[in-house]
Chains A and B, each alone.
Chain A
Amino acid sequence: MAFSAMKEKYSSQVHTVVLGATKEEGGTRDYTITVGGEGALPFLHFEGEVPHRPVVALEVWDVVPEWHESLAPYFGDVYNDPAAWAKKCVMEYNADLVVLRLKGADPDVADASPEDCAKVVKDVLAAVGCPLIVLGCGNPEKDSKVLPAVAEATSGEKLLIGVADQENYKSITAACIVHNHNIIAGSPIDINICKQLNILITEMNLPADRIVIDPTTAALGYGLEYGYSIMERARIGALQGDKMLAMPIICNVGHEVWRSKEANASSEDYPAWGDQANRSILWEATTAAALLQAGANILIMRHPKALALVKQNIEELMVPTSFDD
């Protein structure tokens, strides 16, 4: 007997967001990246279109990061040079795009001025041709000064700038509108706040197709399932026609995973856990793989090998399965 698959029909799809702008479009990027647009739950190609594959980004910091020593062989030589670091991420490690984290702006780190931060961003833009994601230092007050300055200095580049939350969304949104960038709207694992922030931002007249949501995730073993279920709800909402939940999703995977004990504990202290280097890579890749299934569109990774594994996973998942023949 012929098998016929039960198919879910959805009335709507995820918004698409274009990251980066080429010379013709008013920026300086070699190419742009489009994310979103899915008309089905993740990778269910037989139920709807999945027009754009999820993309992976690698982290670059503007100050020397206090990262685990096992990452030093990959980035240690460029820790001091964000531009070279970014280049390495793209050329050597095949990152789709680069995330520049302006940690140095943090008053408790280097308290870099908005102008200095803008300069680092411009240096990185000059070094690579891929679209760029810029994250603030995490101090809302400082970010609301730094990010608008960055937005102004890079006007027209269609950066993805974040993270805007309920406290500081106004200044960041205004800067993104004026200087033609995209924004990351961050919410604390809360579907309502996620949606509310999207409403607030769109009501300031930033179009919905320039918002990417960061629903906040956790590493495997640290509450991943909470973030997962929120993402799933957002996706289902989007497919059922909720425009204010229909933004592509970004997940800060590396940052979360590298805070976990499992990524950092030495093999000597935990011999039963196996080799730390492999373990951390797998921990990061596994977390990312789960988030892909939840509906992530952009994954921010830290370890190049984890990135490679996830890229391979994405390639495999993007091969359409069809029950129609």
Chain B
Amino acid sequence: MDKVTVLFTPDNVAVQVEPGTSLLQAAGLAGISLVSSCGGDGTCGRCLVKVEDGHVRVAETGNLSKKAKQSGLVLACQSFVESNVVIGIPSMSRLTEHQVLLDENQLMEEDIGTDEGFFFRPLCRVVELTLSPPTLAENVADWERLQTALRNVIDCSDIRISLPVLRRLPELLRTDDWRVTVIVAQMNDCAEVVDIAAGHVQKELNLYGLAIDIGTTTVAINLIDLKSGLPVGQKGSYNRQASFGDDVISRIIHASEASGGLPELQSAVISTINDLVAELLQLSNIDAHDVRMVTVAGNTTMTHLFLGLSPKYIRLEPYIPLAASTPAVRASELGLNINPAAYVVCFPSVASYVGGDIVAGTLVTNLAQEERIILLIDIGTNGEMVLGNKDWLVTAACSAGPAFEGGGITFGMRAMKGAIDKIKVDPATFDVQVSTVGRCKAQGICGSGLINCLATLRAVGIIDRTGKLQTDLSTPRLRQGDDGWEFVLVYGNDTAHGRDIVITEHDIKNLMRAKAAVYAGIRSMLQAVQLTEDMIDCVLIAGGFGNCLNIRDAITIGLLPDLPTEKYRFIGNSSLKGARLALISQQAWQEAQLLGSKMTYLELSAGNEFMDEFMSALFLPHTDMTRFPSVTNLK
């Protein structure tokens, strides 16, 4: 059959596709990423597009409202091209400019390396050497001669070299009277001479590395000058894998069940990284060839997908990853557009749901050197946590679901422009004022906004402690919607898309489950080590929320333990920081390897403890109100 043309507006991008291709796939081919939380199952109702001209075959309309159908909206994943069509993409369906947590304030010029007690010694560095020239009596071969000289400088006996470099060795050694500058990559107990230049030219040589945090939702990259250890630039964007589902589970399903799913996911994340790197390099005018070392921190599934390893058994009981620690690979093997011989190393994972990102976070927060008892929580789709100090470390993961990242919430969205991050409700009239990210017209609600929303609605009595909307209140904002009772946060005339932004009772229940899972995880972990909440000296909050999260709100809804707010600290994207630290310190990288095996993993799905805790946490703030004295006293 002949190919047909799909023209996307307002981008005005046309692609030729086989008839029968879904609009979601077509958009992907056109380089347009649509929101698709369910990964193309037709269930999330996010990939709405408008058929402006022509006709498509609609297999499913899912939960689309009548109004939406009448206005010509279809689900891109469930609509298939049969002839030439023109498709309009509403802004709400588009994955756009993403607010990725990069920690501009916190990360940039911090003196990592000294603060944490790790020496500055990058995984890849430049070394100037002066070799003693050979004589008739001292007739060691060139390569062995170089090795001997190197051993005096680096603390490693196993030194290797690649064939192409070896071939160039003899002339380079002799060009400037046995003075050379070598670039050495060194990890663990093995070093490799990756490049050689004649003469002492350290100053002229450029050497860069990348620290990458691959999150389920976002990818963030630091470009680091490995000679100084200082960041040159940073960039982040959404993980292009998002088009295949919001959470790790839907990605794993796609990777293991769809044909070609695994390479598709791998290339999605590689292309995300490549685009970011290209931008970074262009901005700072750096040659891709000079980027020779990459450290990657990601959750277990992300690490698997990045390396093209099958994550299939992570999802199936008893939840076994393919590898906890993975070998160093070459950039060319992954298709990264940097020096093809550059080494790429990934942080080791602890278990299926506690990955390298958590190891990196533990590394950079120096948890394993602390006297005090520290709780590190990364509240993302998967709430991972680490508890302990220098003597012991336990870790667990609780599946909080994507609610805090906007998934499964009617108007949930990530913290992009137009996301409501705070609301104010008049207790008498129930009128609502909202503030949004970027101070523009509201488009949806982001995680911290949802938490604030829950706390605020409870405070003014719009919901009770079970999360039920109090339908007997007299306000037109409370009404029966398509999905049961809902509360209008912003009326359509003040929103970016013209639709009323509501929070439904169903959304509230989803959020309650998410917050209950996180709190239950913390409790289960504390109980496993027989500690009480007040014995925690410090709680470090990492991950997507960043500084947006209001601790008071989080305690009010029972997401976080009722500790003095001074005990809480935001550490931002600790995964990226850890990756950067390891990139510039061999000692830190070695410590990371150890940490991975030092942490005791608690499987929360074994036993009833977690479930009991979870059930009693499904209340605002908690069924056991004595655990939240500061909240109860407020009343």
Chain A residues packing against B (C-beta within 8 Å)? 166, 170, 190, 192, 195-196, 199-200, 203, 242, 244
In the complex, the answer to whether B618 meets A192 with C-beta atoms within 8 Å is yes
Shortest CB-to-CB span from B627 to chain A, Å, is: 12
**Contact with B623, one of A170, A195, A203 (Cβ below 8 angstroms):** A195
Number of A-B contacts (CB under 8 A): 27
In the complex, the answer to whether A166 meets B466 with C-beta atoms within 8 Å is yes
14 contacts across the A-B interface (CB closer than 8 A):
A190-B615, A192-B616, A192-B619, A195-B616, A196-B466, A196-B619, A199-B619, A199-B623, A199-B625, A200-B464, A200-B465, A200-B466, A203-B635, A242-B624
Shortest CB-to-CB span from A301 to chain B, Å, is: 32
List 4 tightest A-B contacts by C-beta distance, closest first: A192-B616, A192-B615, A192-B623, A195-B623
Q: Is the interface of B mostly helix, strand, loop or mixed?
A: loop
In this complex, what residue of A is CB-closest to B470? Answer: A170
Shortest CB-to-CB span from B339 to chain A, Å, is: 57
Whether B468 is near chain A, meaning CB under 8 Å from some CB there, is yes
Pick from A195, A196, A200, A242 the residue with the most CB of B within 10 Å.
A196
Whether B472 is near chain A, meaning CB under 8 Å from some CB there, is yes
Task: List, in ascending order, chain B residues with CB within 8 A of A196's CB.
Answer: 465-466, 619, 623
Shortest CB-to-CB span from B217 to chain A, Å, is: 32
Report the bound CA distance from A203 to B625 in whole Å. Answer: 12
Task: List, in ascending order, chain B residues with CB within 8 A of A166's CB.
Answer: 466, 468
Q: What range describes how many residues of B lie at the interface?
A: 10 to 19
Interface residues of B in 360-385 (CB under 8 A from A): none
Q: Mark B462-501, 1 if CB is under 8 A from A, else 0.
A: 0011101000100000000000000000000000000000
Report the bound CA distance from A196 to B622 in whole Å. Answer: 9
Task: List, in ascending order, chain A residues with CB within 8 A of B624's CB.
Answer: 195, 242
Q: Mark B451-470, 1 if CB is under 8 A from A, else 0.
A: 00000000000001110100
Shortest CB-to-CB span from A252 to chain B, Å, is: 23
Shortest CB-to-CB span from A285 to chain B, Å, is: 33
Task: List, in ascending order, chain A residues with CB within 8 A of B615's CB.
Answer: 190, 192
Report the bound CA distance from A195 to B625 in whole Å. Answer: 10
Shortest CB-to-CB span from A228 to chain B, Å, is: 18
Interface residues of B in 619-635 (CB under 8 A from A): 619, 623-625, 635
Task: List, in ascending order, chain B residues with CB within 8 A of A170's CB.
Answer: 472
Report the bound CA distance from A190 to B618 in whole Å. Answer: 12
Report the bound CA distance from A244 to B623 in whole Å. Answer: 9
Shortest CB-to-CB span from B397 to chain A, Å, is: 23
In this complex, what residue of A is CB-closest to B626? Answer: A242
Shortest CB-to-CB span from A75 to chain B, Å, is: 39
Task: List, in ascending order, chain B residues with CB within 8 A of A200's CB.
Answer: 464-466
Report the bound CA distance from A132 to B595 in whole Å. Answer: 66
Task: List, in ascending order, chain B residues with CB within 8 A of A203's CB.
Answer: 465, 635
Task: List, in ascending order, chain B residues with CB within 8 A of A242's CB.
Answer: 624
Task: List, in ascending order, chain A residues with CB within 8 A of B623's CB.
Answer: 192, 195-196, 199
Shortest CB-to-CB span from B617 to chain A, Å, is: 9
Report the bound CA distance from A170 to B461 in whole Å. Answer: 13
Task: List, in ascending order, chain A residues with CB within 8 A of B466's CB.
Answer: 166, 196, 200
Report the bound CA distance from A244 to B465 in whole Å. Answer: 14
Report the bound CA distance from A199 to B466 in whole Å. Answer: 10
In the complex, the answer to whether A199 meets B618 with C-beta atoms within 8 Å is no
Shortest CB-to-CB span from A33 to chain B, Å, is: 30
In this complex, what residue of B is CB-closest to A167? Answer: B468
Pick from B468, B623, B635 the residue with the most CB of A within 10 Å.
B623
Report the bound CA distance from A199 to B635 in whole Å. Answer: 13
Task: List, in ascending order, chain A residues with CB within 8 A of B616's CB.
Answer: 192, 195
Report the bound CA distance from A166 to B616 in whole Å. Answer: 15
Shortest CB-to-CB span from A165 to chain B, Å, is: 11
Shortest CB-to-CB span from A108 to chain B, Å, is: 24
Report the bound CA distance from A192 to B466 in whole Å. Answer: 11
Shortest CB-to-CB span from A53 to chain B, Å, is: 31
Interface residues of B in 260-275 (CB under 8 A from A): none
Report the bound CA distance from A196 to B620 in whole Å. Answer: 10
Shortest CB-to-CB span from A177 to chain B, Å, is: 16
In this complex, what residue of B is CB-closest to A242? Answer: B624
In this complex, what residue of B is CB-closest to A244? Answer: B625
Report the bound CA distance from A48 to B57 in whole Å. Answer: 74
In the complex, the answer to whether A199 meets B465 with C-beta atoms within 8 Å is yes
